[in-house]
Structure 1
Amino acid sequence: MTTIGTTTRISTAAPSAFFGRWADMATWPEWNADTEWVRLDGPFATGGRGVLKPRGGPKTKFVITELSDRVFTDVSLLAGARLTFRHVVTPTADGGSEVTVTVTLTGPLARLWNVVLGKGIAASLDRDLAALAVAAEAGAAVGHDPAEAA
């Protein structure tokens, strides 16, 4: 496994606000500058599948492999590799959240995909998580109740 990058941010937004933004995939381009569009075919739940279009890249299928009240993991299915985005949300004492995003690559072509994608993803992690925190704090998304996923 190759770790592309990890970033953490403290936010005043409650964990449910982050899950609400992740569940509203059509709005991902508002806070993820490298994403042109995202479509989820079915519910925001473990096993859910969809397609996303990175800016300047081909459409990519993904699957939600884990969803609980603290974790959201989605895996993009690349030729010969799996690109995993693991989001961990820990409630803070003041009602906010600590959010950590870790991106990894696995599979026989992981080294190749790291050369192609790694630097760009690593460079955008902090920026995208900061923009997501602003969106979550604004509370603009229709929420996802993480208790439903547990």
Structure 2
Amino acid sequence: MTTIATAHLTSAAAPAAFFARWADMATWPEWNADTEWVVLDGPFTQGATGTLKPRGGPKVAFTVELLDEHAFVDVSRLVGARLTFDHRIAPRAGGGSDLSVSVALTGPLRPLWMAILGKGIRDSLQRDLDALGRAAESNAPMRPEQNRH
């Protein structure tokens, strides 16, 4: 396995706000600049499948390999490789979330895909996670201290 990139974010939004954004895959292009469109073949559950279209690339099938209150892991099947996006989230004491995302490649054609995808993923992962944070915060319910005048 080769880790391509990692990104981290501390957000005022609760974990549920992030899971809501991840589940609404049709809106991924709003915060993921490298994604043209995403279609999920059913409900957002572990084992769900779908297709995504990266900007400038071919359609790619993916599977939600893990989905629980702490993680969302999706795996795209490339020719001779698997591209894994591992999203981890933890609630912060007093509200908000800590997130981390890592992207890894496995498989016999890993070096080829690393040459094709590596730089783009490294350049965009933190930017896209920051944009996801802004999107989640824009729809997050206000914390009690924000309601005071």
Q: How many angstroms apart in 1 are the aligned matches of 2:45 and 2:122?
A: 26
Q: What SS is found at the alignment partner of 2:52?
A: strand
Q: Tell me the equivalent position of 1:18.
A: 18
Note the aligned Cα RMSD (angstroms). Answer: 0.7
Q: How many angstroms apart in 2 are the aligned matches of 1:43 and 1:109?
A: 31
Which residue identity lines up with residue 116 of structure 1 in the other structure?
I
Q: How many angstroms apart in 2 are the aligned matches of 1:101 and 1:107?
A: 20
Runs of 4+ residues deviating >4 angstroms? none
Q: Tell me the equivalent position of 2:67.
A: 67
Q: Tell me the equivalent position of 2:109.
A: 109
Question: 1:52 Cα shift?
Answer: 0.2
Mapped pair 1:27 → 2:54? no
Structure 2: tracts of 5 or more residues without a match: 141-149
Question: 1:34 Cα shift?
Answer: 0.2
Larger RCO, structures 1/2 (Cα 8 Å, 6+ apart)? 1
Which residue identity lines up with residue 73 of structure 1 in the other structure?
V
Q: TM-score, normalised by structure 2?
A: 0.93
**Largest Rg, 1 or 2:** 2
Q: How many angstroms apart in 2 are the aligned matches of 1:2 and 1:82?
A: 11
Question: 1:21 Cα shift?
Answer: 0.1
Residues 80-107 of structure 1 show CA distances to partners (whole Å, capped at 9, x for unaligned) of 0000000000110121000000000000
Which residue identity lines up with residue 101 of structure 1 in the other structure?
V
How many residues of Structure 1 are paired with residues of Structure 2 in the alignment?
A: 140
Identity score, percent: 64
Mapped pair 1:126 → 2:126? yes
Which residue identity lines up with residue 20 of structure 1 in the other structure?
A
Question: 1:43 Cα shift?
Answer: 1.0
Q: How many angstroms apart in 2 are the aligned matches of 1:107 and 1:14?
A: 35
Structure 1: tracts of 5 or more residues without a match: 141-150
Residues 127-147 of structure 1 show CA distances to partners (whole Å, capped at 9, x for unaligned) of 00000000000117xxxxxxx
Residues 97-125 of structure 1 show CA distances to partners (whole Å, capped at 9, x for unaligned) of 00000000000001110000011011101
